[in-house]
Amino acid sequence: MFNTIEPEALLEQLTTQFAEKILLVEKHYDVSVAEVSHDVIKNVIVFLKEQGFQFLTSCNGLHLPTAEKKFGMIYHLHDFKRNLRIRIKTFTQNDPPHFPTLTDIFLQLIGWSARLMIFSGFVLMATQTFAEF
């Protein structure tokens, strides 16, 4: 009933569109995973949304103190129609970490979702500061 597109095809589509900006594609258990260059993360999310990944399952920050790129954002997206899940990861070595806001794409991220990120030290570009909320 579902799964009319193979996850591999989806990752290939992504790689074709963004070429070397897709740093890594793999499959972790039942989820396709792509690591994306920090500067195109918003474009990738917009692209995936246009491809049917309308549902943001979750978004969380990640701190890897011993890694070269210490800070990351992880997005879990879900395409209900094809029942596909994808995990998009992006990392940066900047401290404090700057990431583009996605509040204009997913309403889930407005309010406390963004505030908690800001509170944790993430700078969400083109969004309000913690004090302005």
Partner 1 sequence: MKEEIKQELIGREYTTLNLGPTHPATHGIFQNVLKMDGEIIIESTPTIGYIHRAFEKLAERRPYGQVTTITDRLNYCSSPINNMGWHMTVEKLAGIRLPKRVEYLRVIIMELARIADHIICNSVIGVDSGAMTGFLYVFQFREHIYEIYEEICGARITTNIGRIGGLERDFSQTAWLKIEKLLKELPKGLKEFEDLLIRNRIFMDRTINCGPISAEMALAYSFTGPNLRAAGIDYDVRVMNPYSSYEEFDFMIPLGTNGDTYDRFMVREQEMKESMSIIKQAMQKLDKLEDKTSFNAEVPEFYLPPKNEVYNEMEALIWHFKIIMAETAVPKGEVYHCVEGANGELGYFLISDGGRTPYRLHIRRPCFIYYQAYPEMIKGAYLSDAILTMSSMNVIAGELDA
Q: Are 58 and 117 in contact (CB under 8 A)?
A: no
Give the span between the Cα atoms of 46 and 64, in whole angstroms. Answer: 26
- Residue from 4, 12, 60, 94 touching partner 1 (CB under 8 A): that is 60
- Of 17 and 78, the one with the shorter C-beta distance to partner 1 is 78
CB of 76 to partner 1, least distance (A): 6
Q: Which among 26-34, 38-46, 90-98, 123-131 is the span making contact with partner 1, rule CB under 8 A?
A: 26-34
DSSP letter for 43, please.
H
- Of 96 and 111, the one with the shorter C-beta distance to partner 1 is 111
- Of 39 and 60, the one with the shorter C-beta distance to partner 1 is 60
Give the span between the Cα atoms of 24 and 112, in whole angstroms. Answer: 31
- The answer to the question of residue 121 lying near partner 1 (CB under 8 A) is no
Q: What is the separation, in whole angstroms, between the first and last Cα of the chain?
A: 44
- Mapped onto helix, strand or coil, the DSSP state of residue 18 is helix
